[in-house]
Chains A and B, each alone.
Chain A
C-alpha cells in the first residue's frame, strides 16, 4: 500500500472522515464536525489534506445565497480505504 496514504489515514480524524464518507453518498461540514467531534479549524485542515491527496471531493455551491460545501469520497479514496482496511484485518 502507498505509504503516503497509510500515513494520511493514521490520523484519527482523517480516518473517521474517510470511514464515514465510505458509507454515505455525500455529507456536509456540520455532519462531519459531529462525527469527528473536532473543531472547525482542525477539521478544515484535515479535509484539505484528504482533498489534496485525491481521496475526497469537495463541492462548493450557494444555497439560498449561503455558501454550502458537500464532501464525498472519490474512487481513489474508496480503493485506498479498502486496501487499508484489508491490511488492518490481516494484522488482527
Chain B
C-alpha cells in the first residue's frame, strides 16, 4: 500500500463521519407538538384540567415525563441504528440532558413555592435553543431561540398575559418551525 493510498483511506474514513441532525429535528418537533397540544387543551378545557387542586400539576408533570421516557427510547434506538456517536452528537445530548434535569428542578421548586414555572422554563429553553443552534451551526434554531428569549422577557413586563397562549406562540416560532426546517433539510451536503 502506497503513502498516497494510505492518505486516501484516512480521508475516506473521516469523510464518512457525519453528525445526523435529523433526530434532533424530530425531538424538537415532538416536544413542540406535545407542549402546544397540552397548552391548547388546557386553554380550551380548563374545567377538565383544573377540576381539582392537584389535577393541573399532575397534567403538566405526568405527560412531559411520559414524553421524556418516549424520547429517551427513541434516541437510544436511533443512536443504535446510526451506529456511532460524534463529539457534536455527544455535546448536544449532554446539553439537552442538562435541560431535562433543569426542567425537573424548576418544576419541583415551583411546586414547593407555588409559583408558575412557565416563564422560567421558556427562558431556559430559549438559552438551550440558542446554544444548540450555535453549536450545530443551524441559524433557524439560533434565531428561533433568540425570538423565544425576547418573547419570554416581554412576558415578564406583562404579568397579565395568558401563559398558555405564550406557550403556544413561543414554542411555535421558537421550536416547531426551526425543528421542522432542521428535520426537512437536505443532509447530502
Contacts and interface: CB of A to CB of B under 8 A. Distances in A.
Interface residues of B, number: 23
Interface residues of A, number: 27
Given A16-B12, A85-B10, A23 B3 contact: no
B87 A25 contact: yes
Contacts of A27: 83-85
Contacts of B115: none
Interface of A is mostly: helix
Contact of B14 (A22, A25, A31): A22
B85 A25 contact: yes
A44 B115 CA distance: 57
A31 B10 contact: no
Nearest to B19: A24
Nearest to A24: B84
B112 interface: no
Interface in B1-34: 1, 3-7, 9-10, 12-14, 16-17
A23 B83 contact: no
A62 interface: no
Contact of B7 (A17, A23, A92): A92
Nearest to A87: B3
A19 B17 CA distance: 10
Interface string A23-40: 111111011101100000
Interface of B: 1, 3-7, 9-10, 12-14, 16-17, 76, 80, 82-87, 89-90
